[in-house]
Amino acid sequence: MPELPEVESVRRGLQAAQLRAPVVEVWRSAYKLRVGKSWAAENLSCLKDNVPKDIRRRGKYIVWEFAGSGGETNGLVIHLGMSGRCGVTTAAQPKVVHTHFALRMADAREVRLVDPRRFGGLRAGPLDELMASEPIGTLGPEPLDPGFGGELLAERLGASRRPIRDALLDQEAVAGLGNIYAVEALFAAGIFPLVEAHRLHASAWARLAGTIVTVLQQGIDNGGTTLKDFRNVEGEVGRNQDDLRVYGRAEEPCPRCRATLVGFVSGGRSGAYCPRCQPRPRTRTIR
């Protein structure tokens, strides 16, 4: 699933396309996308005749602002799911297979969502309502915002008895952080990924917060991580998979000490760690 850096790469691509012409047509395939109460009413028709404005990101979601024809401010939330791709093309270009959404502008360009696995999601409506309701309204702090640090991270997760890797994936605790970047951040911080979160000392939280920011920024600078499906707005793959140090590299040598990396599965998600650089703690508090 695209994580914060991949979604940020898509957001930047859409922003760079300078989509400012009014929406003249909203097209939706007959196939259902993401299910669940937060996505039950897509309400996409409300975007007709709207003028596109700012495109932002909240966690793993793209939030696109529109000026309504009656002076109202609408929004469109896009979730890329497991295999979703957003692209900008001309309206004359035939829709490729698995295209499920197209927003046609008055300048004859279209924004399209292609999603083979159909785990993505779309939801439109008044922007303030979208920001206040699920899934956006329950998200935790943004790790790249000013003020994010060890103290805030400990406040959100310091009482948790879940393994720290699993706890970091809670979107109500940290918005946008997913498995790839959590595993990488824990390696960079030298923290055993299966230790219970409540055992971390303030110094470990501070170190971890710093490495979270570092690995996320690296992912953005590299245009995201492409392991299988991810493509940016131009259809290009990311480059960050070449710089991953432990994720997906179980049984390979540690890039730091050359010990053999160990794979693990927790909460249904796999990861890897170095038994020498991230030793299983023997004390009650991890510093």
Catalytic residue chosen out of the listed positions 58, 60, 118, 156: 60
**Residue 65 catalytic?**
no
Residue-by-residue DSSP string for 213-280 = HHHHHHHHHTT---SSS---TTSPPPSGGGG-SSTT-TTSBPTTT-PBPEEEEETTEEEEE-TTTSPP
Judge residue 200's burial from the number of C-beta atoms within 10 Å of its C-beta, 0-12 exposed, 13-18 middle, 19 or more buried: buried
Active site residue 163: no
Q: Which of 2, 5, 141, 163 is catalytic?
A: 2
Residue 234 annotated as catalytic: no
| 199 Cβ contact partners less than 8 Å away, ≥ 6 residues apart | 281, 284, 285, 286
Of the candidates 28, 56, 269, 276, the residue annotated as catalytic is: 269
Note if 135 is an active site residue.
no
Q: 277 burial class (0-12, 13-18, 19+ CB within 10 angstroms)?
A: buried
The residues carrying an active-site annotation are 2-3, 60, 269
